[in-house]
């Protein structure tokens, strides 16, 4: 056992108390009333990084169109291991709003231990996971007389829950300041309790608006119903031709570029402890699951593109009845992408297909709101191998490689701007209530996560 | 020429000035700030009805769930023509809000003459048309030494623009107090300038909400997209199966009970001065008109059922992107009915059809918000014949019989509760800007309307 792990085990209760202090700061990034709290959390972290021995510790101000005068980044480094790889450790210190408050069994910003869990907003997303990095670094520095087995840069953000534009802008504009060999991101989950997990794939996305216009102005449905085009009906007809009732997307060419998972990856997914019926009942709660015929739920959500409608704007949505034929209707439509689909090509396919299926009497405009590339981390690089070995030592189990159906945009930014592979080693659990009341983090996962990261960094630097 | 018409011609300017005074009262029924103004308009009308010699003049208070402590009805009668028919003269003294104010060329509540028109909110809808009745009665009473050629009841409402529940409740509860032989309703339009017009048909309606539920709670489209049902997509698929792209409604049985217009009525419509291309360009403004193949625009809007979607509620409709799969989505859907469709049967057909076409994984509830019967006035009754003759005398042209695609619920209430046919004799014009800025009434139509009503009442009582 490494002396760093020894140190970490001896200081578990102090580490936990420090995390609790951090969780008491209500760093809700979306709420202007908490702006000072968000900065306070950044300052506390900067002070702690300095105390444990990191250098060049500073706050980096952000200022983007989405968030002018935004929340700061926290940067620190320790670059005294010549010839060794450089790790970029990423996490975020902002949290989701705690609403609805009355569903919390203990106050959202008063961390409370129950049944081996620590309950608080941000416990697992991402203060608890981010703080594992800090405490792993402290343990390594103390155990190695102020040295680290590799070079380290730390970059923490305070706007992850509001879009992350500040860090994206910084990463794109200062690649030299972040030169590294790989990134470590602990903002994901284990597939099941006790099952060490690396996330090696993320879906990309295009998020669009499809606006359909009929008459030049709103019309009365009594006077004009039957003669004037109805943009809501036309939009429904368009959407119904984007995806059939079996879940298959009907946009020509959309499936052409997909690289399916390897037979080995599929076989590994089939051996995961996953019960579709349990998932349907406890997580989705619908009468049946949907999705393209011939694929499992994990393939549907990890390895297949999907199309969703998030809302439809326009017309009358108040209480009661208003007999209007609206001049326009606009749907928010997203498509999740898998390798090797690209946002550019998918958007072009969607746009031209919509124009080709327009019902009579309407015009349509398809607008791109934002997009992100899908990503797939090669599992045969030394960092993934080191992570796998470290997890095996600490958890005494084989690591499972999973994907996520969602996106972590910073992983794409690291790949695109810094040419870094990301090791997504997370210790959350599927029932941790992210973004919901009673968010929690299993305390033993906090401790074992610190040990896993210590061993990972030691093995990379060995 | 009758002496009543002689009187009306001699007092045209006074009648117009009185109407202007009435139009200066901002009796906007939907705006609580104007509650006293609405009552003031009722009191002015009651005083005028009393001054010209009507009896039993009173305000009848209304109080409905939709409008507790609502705006009053104005009632008056003159029942001194034994053996003669009794007319129920209906009109409304409330008006639409004047917004958007900055598009008015002269103030909405400062009646202004321009190019032979009187511009003001309520000029034609319905103060100007309702006041024609009052001035016709005054002319008849003066010319006949305080007598009328028939019995008359006057019933004016102040909630027409907010649903008319007060008068509907009163009509249903006090039929004996309103005993009459026919109703005269002047709240419709002439088909074209100078073309005397009787409206003899109105479409009915069911206004519904179709709520579709998928997952038990909102889900993240990254994590669950591809496995969880999307209620917006399902709703679009349902709507696309309610009506095809040609405009034909696909609900089984919906067209079965329709009584088509007679060949004579269709031939009359074909001879109306109506240019579909002009209508498309100036009124609708869409690239093409829609509607069931094989029918004209007038048939589409007057004699065929139509289905419209007015808005879709739920999900995310803010600026930007939120990747939610909402738990539910709800569409406001109405169907316009024509004789002899009934709201009850049509709603049952819609409901059972929706349940029969549900996409996988979702449930649906179809709710009825409100409904109204279609109505068709027989044209071979003595009141329509008298109206036709009166119009011919005054306008020196043959009357055209049209329908309206909209609904006038009071006409159905009169038919259902009082067993009265309504003579819908209106003098508005298609470009009068009802419910819009720069509402107007052609002043010569105000004068000729008074004369038409005088002659109509004289002929009925002859």
**Positions of chain A with pLDDT lower than 50, given as ranges:** none
Residue listed under structure tokens 């300052």: A43
Q: Which residue of A220, A226, A369 is in closest CB contact with B306?
A: A226
How many residues appear in chain B? 462
Chain A neighbors of B281, CB-CB under 8 A: none
What is the number of structural domains in chain B? 2
Whether A264 is covered by a domain: the verdict is no
Same domain for A232 and A311:
yes
- Shared-domain flag, residues A330 and A449: no
Q: Count of A–B CB contacts within 8 Å? A: 284
Residues B364 and B409 in one domain: no
Is A432 inside any structural domain? yes
CB contact under 8 A, A323 and B304: no
Residue B154 falls inside a structural domain: yes
Q: Does B235 touch chain A (CB under 8 A)?
A: yes
CA of B434 to nearest chain A CA: how many angstroms apart?
A: 11
From CA A350, how far away is CA A355, in angstroms rounded?
9
Which positions ≥6 away from B356 have C-beta within 8 Å?
A: none
* Residue A30 contacts B where some CB pair is shorter than 8 Å: no
Whether A9 and A113 share a structural domain = yes
How far B322 CA lies from chain A's nearest CA (Å)? 7
Are both B358 and B238 inside the same structural domain? yes
Q: Which of A223, A246, A309 comes nearest B405 by C-beta?
A: A223
The β-bridge relationship of strands B363-372 and B204-213 is antiparallel
Q: What letter would DSSP give residue B178?
A: G
Q: Stretch B223-227: mean pLDDT, rounded? A: 93
- A429 within 8 A of A193, measured Cβ to Cβ: yes
Which residue, B431, B433, B415, B435, is CA-closest to B423? B415
Q: pLDDT at position B319, please?
A: 81
**What is A26-60 written as a DSSP string?**
--BTT-GGGHHHHHHHHHHHHHHHHHHT-EEEEEE
A94 is catalytic: yes
**pLDDT over 90 (residue B188):** yes
Q: Give the range with max mean pLDDT: A372-386, B139-153, B310-324.
A: B139-153
Q: What would you measure as the largest C-alpha separation in chain A, in angstroms?
A: 84
Asked whether residue A177 falls in the same domain as residue A236, the answer is no
Query: Are B301 and A370 in contact (CB < 8 Å)?
Result: no
- Assign residue A75 a region (left: φ > 0; alpha: ψ between -120 and 50; beta: otherwise): beta
> How near does any CA of chain A get to the CA of B280, in Å?
8
Q: Which of B227, B312, B404 sits opposite A300 (nearest CB)?
A: B227
Helix ranges restricted to H, B281-374:
297-302, 343-356
Label residue B234 by pLDDT band (50, 70, 90): very high
pTM over 0.80: yes
Residue B10 lies in a domain: yes
Residue B285 is assigned to a structural domain of this protein: no
Report the CATH number at residue A405: 3.40.630.10
The tokens for B84 are: 């003669």
Q: Is B225 on the interface with A (CB under 8 A)?
A: yes
- Give the whole-angstrom CA distance, residue B124 versus residue B113: 14
Are A181 and A194 members of one domain?
yes
Q: Which of A50, A229, A192 is nearest to B285 (CA)?
A: A229
CA–CA separation, B282 and A452 (whole Å): 72
pLDDT tens for B242-270 read: 999 999 999 999 999 999 999 999 999 99
Residues B124, B137: one domain? yes
**B62 pLDDT band (50/70/90 cuts)?**
very high
In terms of residues, how long is chain A? 462
Classify residue B266: in a domain, yes or no.
no
Whole-number pLDDT of residue A1: 64
Q: Which residue has the higher pLDDT, A316 or B305?
A: B305
Answer yes or no: is A323 within a domain: yes
Q: Are B446 and B122 in contact (CB under 8 A)?
A: no
Tell me the chain A residues in contact with residue B307 when contact means C-beta distances shorter than 8 Å.
Answer: 225, 233
Task: Give the SS3 label for residue A123.
Answer: coil
Residues 6 or more apart whose CB falls under 8 angstroms from that of B40 comprise: B25, B27
* Rounded Cα gap, residues B317 and B327, in angstroms: 15
What local confidence, expressed as pLDDT, does residue A340 receive? 94
Q: Which residue has the tokens 């074909």?
A: B270
Is B50 in the same domain as B173? yes
pLDDT at B341: 97
The first and second tokens of residue B5, run together, are 């018409």
The answer to whether residues A149 and A453 touch, using CB atoms and an 8 Å cutoff, is: no
A282 membership: H or E segment, kind and range: none
User: Given B372, B391, B410, which residue is the final one in a domain?
Assistant: B372
Q: For an interface test with B, give the residue of A96, A234, A308, A331 to mutate (most B CBs within 10 A).
A: A308
The answer to whether position B14 is within a domain reads: yes
How sure is the predictor about B150, in pLDDT bands with cuts at 50, 70 and 90? very high
The pLDDT assigned to B393 comes to 97
Predicted confidence at residue B1, as pLDDT, reads 64
pLDDT of residue B217: 87
Residue B392 in 3-state DSSP? Answer: helix
The answer, yes or no, to whether residue B206 has pLDDT greater than 80, is yes
Encoding tokens for residue A432? Answer: 């941790």
- Residue A379 and residue A311 share a domain: no
In CATH, what number is assigned to the domain containing residue B253?
3.30.70.360
Chain B residue with minimum CA distance to A219: B284
Last residue within a domain, chosen from A372, A388, A423: A372
- A306/B226 touch (CB, cutoff 8 Å), yes or no: yes
Q: Which is more confident, B102 or A62? A: A62
Any CB–CB contact under 8 A between B285 and chain A? yes
Residue A434: the pLDDT is 86
Dihedral Cα B164, B166, B169, B170, nearest 10 deg: -120
pLDDT score, position B329: 97
For residue A65, list chain B residues with Cβ-Cβ distance below 8 A.
Answer: none
Whether A160 and A34 share a structural domain: yes
DSSP B177: G
Q: Do A301 and B216 touch (CB under 8 A)?
A: no
pLDDT of residue B435: 84
CB contacts, 8 Å: B314 with chain A: 311
Considering only CB atoms, which chain B residues are within 8 Å of A279? 227
Q: Which residues of B touch A405 (CB under 8 A)?
A: 222-226
* Predicted ipTM of the assembly: 0.88
Provide the pLDDT for residue A438.
94
List b or e across B219-257, with b for residues whose CB sees 16 or more CB atoms inside 10 angstroms. bbbbbbbbbbbbbbbbbbbbbbbbbebebebebeebeee
Please, which residues 307-346 of chain B have a Cβ atom closer than 8 Å to chain A? Answer: 307-317, 320-326, 329, 331-332, 334, 336
Of the residues A341, A372, A403, the one at which a domain ends? A372
Average pLDDT score over chain B: 95
pLDDT digits (tens, 9 = 90+) for B108-119: 999 999 999 999
Q: What's the pLDDT score for residue A254? A: 98
Distance from CA of B36 to the nearest CA of A (A): 26
Look at residue A409 in the predicted model and tell me its pLDDT: 85
For strands A86-92 and A151-157, give the pairing: parallel
What's CA B141's distance to the chain center, in Å? Answer: 30
Catalytic residues of B: 94, 160
Return the closest-CA partner of residue B331 out of B437, B440, B430, B212: B212
Residue numbers of the domain that contains A235: 204-258+305-372
Mapped onto helix, strand or coil, the DSSP state of residue A228 is strand
Position B449 scores a pLDDT of: 98
Do B33 and B164 belong together in one domain? yes
């Amino acid at each position: 056992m490494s002396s760093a792990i020894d140190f970490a085990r001896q200081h578990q209760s102090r580490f936990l108390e420090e995390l609790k202090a951090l969780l008491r700061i209500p760093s809700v990034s979306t709420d202007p009333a908490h702006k000072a709290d968000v900065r306070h959390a950044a300052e506390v972290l900067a002070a702690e990084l300095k105390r444990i021995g990191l250098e060049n510790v500073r706050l980096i101000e952000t200022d983007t169109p989405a968030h002018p005068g935004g929340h700061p980044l926290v940067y620190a480094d320790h670059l005294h291991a010549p010839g060794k790889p450089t790790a970029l450790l990423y996490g975020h210190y902002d949290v989701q709003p705690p609403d609805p408050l009355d569903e919390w069994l203990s106050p959202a910003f008063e961390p409370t231990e129950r049944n081996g869990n620590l309950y608080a907003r941000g416990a697992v997303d991402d203060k608890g996971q981010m703080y594992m990095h800090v405490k792993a670094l402290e343990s390594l520095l103390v155990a190695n007389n102020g040295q680290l087995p590799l070079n380290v840069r730390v970059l923490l953000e305070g706007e992850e829950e509001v879009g992350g534009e500040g860090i994206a802008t910084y990463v794109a504009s200062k690649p030299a300041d972040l030169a590294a060999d790989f990134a470590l991101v602990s903002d994901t989950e284990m597939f099941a309790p006790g099952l060490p997990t690396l996330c090696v794939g993320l879906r990309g996305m295009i998020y669009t608006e499809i606006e359909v216009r009929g008459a030049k102005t709103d019309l009365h449905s009594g006077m004009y119903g039957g003669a004037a085009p109805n943009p809501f009906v036309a939009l429904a007809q368009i959407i119904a031709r984007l995806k059939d009732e079996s879940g298959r997307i009907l946009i020509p060419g959309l499936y052409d570029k997909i690289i399916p998972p390897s037979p080995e990856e599929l076989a590994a997914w089939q051996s995961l402890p996953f019960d579709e019926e349990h998932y349907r009942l406890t997580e989705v709660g619908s009468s049946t699951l949907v999705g393209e015929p011939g694929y499992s739920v994990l393939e549907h959500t990890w390895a297949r593109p999907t199309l969703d409608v998030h809302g439809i704007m326009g017309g009358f949505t108040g209480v009661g009845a208003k007999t209007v034929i609206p001049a326009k209707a606009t749907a928010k439509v997203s498509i999740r992408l898998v390798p090797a689909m690209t946002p550019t090509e998918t958007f072009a396919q969607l746009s031209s297909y919509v124009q080709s299926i327009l019902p009579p009497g309407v015009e349509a405009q398809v607008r791109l709101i934002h997009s992100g590339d899908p990503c797939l981390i090669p599992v045969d690089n030394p960092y993934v191998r080191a992570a796998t070995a470290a997890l095996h030592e600490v958890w005494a189990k084989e690591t499972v490689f999973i994907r996520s159906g969602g996106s972590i945009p910073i992983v794409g930014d690291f790949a695109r701007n810094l040419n870094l592979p990301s090791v997504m080693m997370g210790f959350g659990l599927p029932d941790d209530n992210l973004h919901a009341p009673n968010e929690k983090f299993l305390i033993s996962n906090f401790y074992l996560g610190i040990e896993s990261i210590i061993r990972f960094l030691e093995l990379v630097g060995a």
